[in-house]
Structure 1
Amino acid sequence: MRADKAEAPVRLLVVDDEPHIADLVATVAKYEGWQARVANSGGDALTEAAAFNPDIVVLDLMLPDLDGFTVLDRLRASGAMVPVVFLTAKDATADRVAGLTRGGDDYLVKPFAVEELMARLRAVLRRTTGPGWKRSVLAVEDLELDEDTREVRRGEQNVSLTPTEFELLRYLMRRSPAVLTKAQILDHVWDYDFGGRSNVVELVISHLRRKLDTDNIPLIHTIRGVGYVVRRAT
């Protein structure tokens, strides 16, 4: 594991035999600024781990060749002490205990929210890498959003947001200064179909403006006919 983790991107290996799940987790990790690779079998996971030298691994227990426990055992036998978060459909207490006692660092049951998984990965990295771990803080002008503590500040003022407001703001800040369409926001922030009811985006944007832009230079802008962006007005 690299010692300069506060400077270099986190390397994540996602091991799952369901390609759509593995690709989704890898894509979200890349939005975080991480590097990510995918493996769909235990054998491929061991090959990728040796070549990629990941900082953390998401590991499915039920794989088509080797099970997740065997993969973990072989990683440890090779000297790789990389932290591992198990991701599996097994939710029995015995499976959770086995996963943790066999050397796993956390355990998340399917179906899962990708944002919760990312939060757990960041928590495991903080716990296993010590004080050198750099917290993930997004900033646009005097607006700051801490992805780990979920705190938001505008200047010296703490701002209380609902979970949906937080996720929408985080998405806008991650992609700033890009302009995001309502369709992109709906697809990323809400995990179910709103059937084209894009007015829900307008509603949450309105709430965010009331909380963030009052008595401050506006940072949330509407680009007519396109969508929304967080940036300083030009």
Structure 2
Amino acid sequence: MVSEEQFNKEEFAVLLQQAKGNRSINNFANETGVSAAHISRFLRQMIASPPTPETISKFAAKAHNEVTYKDLMVAAGHIAKNEATDEDQKNIDERESPINLRMQRDELERRFKQVILADLYESPFKWSVEKSEERLRFPDMILNIDNEGYTRWYLEFMPVNPERRHFSFMNSNHLYGQIATFELKETDKFTIVVNDKKAYEFFFKRAPISLRANIYIMLIDLELGKILKEEMLSSYRID
């Protein structure tokens, strides 16, 4: 039996949030068959005892962002790192802790904003950053602008760690799902920002065909600190 001391609530909560990805708690609950209230309590670290292997299996089956069954089992305390095979241990070490991954993502997003702002300071049009509520994490950046008929510019960052060079293509479908529930006008511009050429090219293969929105894809270079290119994926259409 796993003791409460072996259950790393914080690490499990971070992993579960990664596994949930961009889905709402209710959507994740519907897909996994685990109640939304139960998932919410794990995310808020309100449950002292770890989930059962059966519940973890349900989470892992629908997990995003490469979160695995073994990752969740280790965080829950059902499997100790020193009990894993050499190959399993190598995979766990290479993936690093979810807390470190979150910190890396936060740092990448900070650098994304620096690149965008640096470009804006050189732009000829008027703009201002709109401060959003801290709890609202979508999209990552909102600007009031006066450029090419657009008055508002929404930017969503999809960073790829340069050391890992991996982009979770499944995220594109969920991003489009989020955009579909977001009210966008003809004068609004929505840009997906990536720092990986393969991710940039992938969006053209999976461009939205049913979204009524001006959606763009932007490629930035974090090392050079500049925007490389930006192209339209879909345009706002009036029925």
Scaled by the length of structure 1, what TM-score is found? 0.30
Question: TM-score, normalized by length of structure 2?
Answer: 0.29
